[in-house]
Amino acid sequence: MAESHVIHKETQLELLDLIEAEWQEGSIIRVLERLRKRLRDGIKSGKIVCQSRVDEPDEHIGEFMGVLSLLKNFAPAEAVWVEDRMISKNPRAKDSSGHEALMVGLWDVAKELVRRGNLTNQESYDLHYRMRQANLIMIPCEADELDHWLRSARIDLDKGKIAECAELRAIRQNYRSLISSNYLQLPEEKSYLVQTQQTVIRLLEKYWNEDPLDVPVARARSDWLFDSLYTSVFDTRHLLPKEKRPQSWKDILKFEIVRLIALTLENTLQRQEYFKWIDERLLKPLTLSNVEVQTRMATQNAPPMATSKCPT
């Protein structure tokens, strides 16, 4: 008869962690071996050229030595691939000899591979998912990719909500963790926020212009966009220097409202349903739930804001 043993739950969890760590270690080694082989083959064929190191006496610059060596002399390269948002934010780079080249990152390379047909859209979306899972920040939220995942996701019509898939969850968590932290540098990196909000507005306009309009579906998708990616002035004030933070609650409300009512909607029914949604999701929460707005309205003897009316 086989002998049986009892293992404490914590011991079991520890064993599972060790197995997972060993598997990850093996995966890393396999990736490094593939990289070494590609480097060897590339150097042998002449496709890869090894640059000389920068002679830099400053000991504090040691961790940046590789990047400095690359940026000092990258001729005759047509592009420079650097995964550093402070460096790659510039569209072009110039080395010490005056040679210029495009500055690119992993996102740009993936886009170029899609353009050349070496990568399908679906494969690029899967790559973006892995990038977000790895907690790479400032991954652009593009309309085509978001639309793909929102249309793929199941909608719980009883709750009126998107049944969030892993890809949408990664997009939401990646973006919200960036906004709630101090990593985003404003106003220098404002373009990332602007691009994301333009994507949200573009998709809102697309979903509310569908004919025939499925109101519950349009609401569910719009709710996800609003909850996950829409960024108000209230969300980003902590990232701005104190002297640049908006002070007037009226200016904040006007900005928020104008941005969302500027959509081009084709017919009266679409406008009516959209403005009902705007009223519920933006105007009432801002005027009825925001303590700061209510306080300023009371101290300035301002009348409560009327709910939105659909323009005819």
**pLDDT tens track for 167-199:** 999 999 999 888 887 777 777 777 888 889 899
Instruction: Tell me, yes or no, whether 119 lies in a domain.
Output: no
Q: Is residue 271 part of a domain?
A: yes
- Highest averaged pLDDT of the listed ranges 12-26, 39-53, 60-74, 146-160: 146-160
What is the Cα–Cα distance from 32 to 132, expressed in whole angstroms? 21
What's the confidence (pLDDT) of residue 302? 45
Note the pLDDT of residue 236: 67
Is 8 within the bounds of a domain?
no
DSSP state at residue 182:
S
Q: Are residues 78 and 186 in the same domain?
A: no
- The domain total for the chain is 2
State the burial class of residue 134 (Cβ atoms within 10 Å of its Cβ: 0-12, 13-18, 19+).
Answer: exposed
Instruction: Examine the fold and report which residue of 104, 127, 153 is the final residue of a domain before the chain moves on.
Output: 104
Residues 286 and 192 both lie in one domain: yes
Residue 75 shares a structural domain with residue 155: no
pLDDT (average), residues 271-283: 87
Q: Are strands 92-94 and 100-104 parallel, antiparallel or unpaired?
A: antiparallel
Q: Is the pLDDT of residue 237 over 70?
A: no
pLDDT of residue 250: 65
Same domain, 256 and 182: yes
Quick check: 307 pLDDT over 50? no
- Mean pLDDT over 66-75 rounds to 77
Distance of CA 118 to CAs 109, 115, 143, 264, Å?
Answer: 11, 8, 21, 36
Q: Are 186 and 249 part of one and the same domain?
A: yes
Residue 204, pLDDT score: 94
For residues 167 and 80, membership in a common domain is answered with no
State the average pLDDT over residues 28-42.
88
Number of other CB atoms surrounding residue 229 within 10 Å: 19
> Which pLDDT band holds residue 62 (cuts at 50, 70, 90)?
low
Q: Are residues 166 and 87 in the same domain?
A: no
pLDDT bracket for residue 85 (50, 70, 90): confident
> 84: which residues sit within 8 A by CB, 6+ positions away?
67
What residue numbers bound the domain in which 79 lies? 69-104
Whether residues 143 and 290 fall in one domain: yes
The better pLDDT of the pair 209, 53 is held by 209
Same domain flag for 93 and 152: no
Please give the backbone phi and psi of residue 49, each rounded to the nearest 5 degrees, phi first: -115, 130
Residue 220 inside a domain? The answer is yes
Residue 70's nearest CA partner among 59, 81, 78, 60 is 81
Tokens, residue 225: 């966009």
Alpha-helical segments (H) within the chain: 9-45, 65-72, 85-88, 106-116, 121-133, 143-152, 166-180, 190-208, 215-228, 233-236, 249-261, 268-278, 284-289, 291-299
More confident residue, 265 or 248: 265
Do 175 and 248 lie in one domain? The reply is: yes
Per-residue HEC secondary structure of 41-96 comes to: HHHHHCCCCCCCCCCCCCHHHHHHHHHHHHHHCCCCCCEEECCCHHHHCCCEEECC
Residues 155 and 198 in one domain: yes
Q: Taking the model in full, what pTM does it have?
A: 0.71
How confident is the prediction for the chain on average, in pLDDT?
80
Both 96 and 155 in one domain: the answer is: no
Is 184 inside any structural domain?
yes
Interval 282-298 mean pLDDT: 59
Instruction: Name the percent of the chain lying above pLDDT 90.
Output: 29
In a domain, 129, yes or no: no
| Structural domain ending residue among the three candidates 104, 119, 152 | 104
Strand 92-94 versus strand 79-81 pairing type: unpaired
**Domain for residue 284, yes or no?**
yes
